[in-house]
């Protein structure tokens, strides 16, 4: 005698595969290091400030931005491929120290010293 499946309590949430959908408003960018597409939330934005690369933590700085995974591999790849000057349209020797610090330090907490909370506007 067989008991019918008793797993009525199991609710499988059907994951709607969003991978194949190309919503126009889906925030996806290409990492300049590994060239893979990822959600904006998984990447951080790099901009040029005074001839140096800077991490745009709020993703609000004007101008061109390059997107990168927060990992040393992608940063190394990006530097090796000269992806930053290309993506940012800045042929200068871009100092990537700030980006390196950002990657090495992991995700810094929001209480970075010396950063007034958006009072400069």
| Distance set, CA 35 to CA 1, 62, 101 (Å) | 57, 23, 21
Angle (nearest 5°) at CA 69 between 67 and 49 = 40
- Which part of the chain contacts Zn ion (CB under 5 A), choosing from 6-14, 25-33, 99-107, 111-119? 25-33
Shortest CB 31 distance to Zn ion, Å = 3
69 lines the binding site for Zn ion (CB under 5 A): yes
User: What is the 8-class DSSP label of residue 102?
Assistant: H
Q: Reduce the DSSP state of residue 9 to 3 states and report it.
A: helix
Q: 35 vs 60, which CB is nearer to Zn ion?
A: 35
- Which part of the chain contacts Zn ion (CB under 5 A), choosing from 45-53, 69-77, 87-95, 105-113? 69-77
98 lines the binding site for Zn ion (CB under 5 A): no
65 lines the binding site for Zn ion (CB under 5 A): no
Question: What would the DSSP string read from start to end of 49-84?
Answer: ETTEEEEETTS--SS--EEE-SSHHHHHHHHHTTHH
Rg of the chain's alpha carbons, rounded to an integer?
Answer: 20
Tell which one of 53, 74, 83, 87 touches Zn ion (CB under 5 A): 74
Shortest CB 56 distance to Zn ion, Å = 17
75 lines the binding site for Zn ion (CB under 5 A): no
Site residues (vs Zn ion, CB under 5 A): 31, 33-34, 69, 74
């Amino acid at each position: 005698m067989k008991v019918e499946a008793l797993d009525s309590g199991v609710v499988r949430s059907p994951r709607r595969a969003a991978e194949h959908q190309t919503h126009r408003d889906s925030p996806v960018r290409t990492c300049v290091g590994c060239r893979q597409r990822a959600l904006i939330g998984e990447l951080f934005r790099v901009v040029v400030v005074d001839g140096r690369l800077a991490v745009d933590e709020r993703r609000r700085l004007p101008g061109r931005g390059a997107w990168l995974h927060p990992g040393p591999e992608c940063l190394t790849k990006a530097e090796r491929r000269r992806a930053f000057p290309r993506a940012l349209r800045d042929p200068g020797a871009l100092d990537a120290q700030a980006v390196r610090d950002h990657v090495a330090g992991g995700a810094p907490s929001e209480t970075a010293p010396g950063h007034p909370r958006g009072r400069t506007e």
